[in-house]
Amino acid sequence: MNTREAFEDWYEVDCYPCEHSNWFRLDSDGDYEFDEVQYAWRTWQAATETVITEYRQQCLDNAAEIARLRKLIADHVNSSNNDDSAGDTFGALMAEVQPKHKPKPFIGTRSAIYKCTDCGHEQSVQEIHTEYGVYVGSGANWCDKCGDGKPERKETP
């Protein structure tokens, strides 16, 4: 099945707006006679080319990473055959190969104590922790006692 046949099969199943006997008829330039089919065909070609290009790049990146890892392993094997400190080399190799795991940030709600800069009143404020940052409740914007001031975070209870 060529690309045009694949497009027509897809268009017939997923996009066919109405029954038409000459839906995929071509003009003298090799374009589809119906503009909406021609536009869909051009979009299909562009999307397919983008996917192919991205896939090729991903394959090249993977091949480069495989080559790098093979070299690391070969270097390790050569050094362990010539050196009694193979354990240190292997540890360094594993540190290089293993992905770096970072602890996930806290996500959820947490109470914190905020202290007013004017009157010293302390109040509890709900903080919402997300992967994008910390959002605080309205208690962090004004003091519940004096109504003024700017409460500042003091501590987490």
pLDDT in tens, 98-109: 655 556 666 777
Arithmetic mean of pLDDT, 56-83: 80
**How far is the C-alpha of 22 from the C-alpha of 24, rounded, in Å?**
6
**How far is the C-alpha of 135 from the C-alpha of 3, rounded, in Å?**
50
Could you give the maximum distance between any two Cα atoms of the chain, in Å? 84
Q: Phi and psi (nearest 5°) for 152?
A: -120, 145
86-90, 91-95, 123-127, 151-155: which has the minimum mean pLDDT?
86-90
Arithmetic mean of pLDDT, 7-33: 78
**How far is the C-alpha of 153 from the C-alpha of 113, rounded, in Å?**
6
Between 60 and 80, the higher pLDDT residue: 60
Q: Where are the domains of the chain?
A: 1-101, 108-155
pLDDT of residue 6: 84
**Has residue 157 got a pLDDT over 50?**
no
**Has residue 119 got a pLDDT over 80?**
yes
This prediction has a pTM of 0.37
**How far is the C-alpha of 24 from the C-alpha of 32, rounded, in Å?**
6
Average pLDDT, the chain: 76
Percent of the chain exceeding pLDDT 70 equals 71
**How far is the C-alpha of 18 from the C-alpha of 12, rounded, in Å?**
10
Q: Phi and psi (nearest 5°) for 89?
A: -65, -40
Arithmetic mean of pLDDT, 49-73: 84
- Per-residue confidence band for 16, with pLDDT thresholds at 50, 70 and 90: low
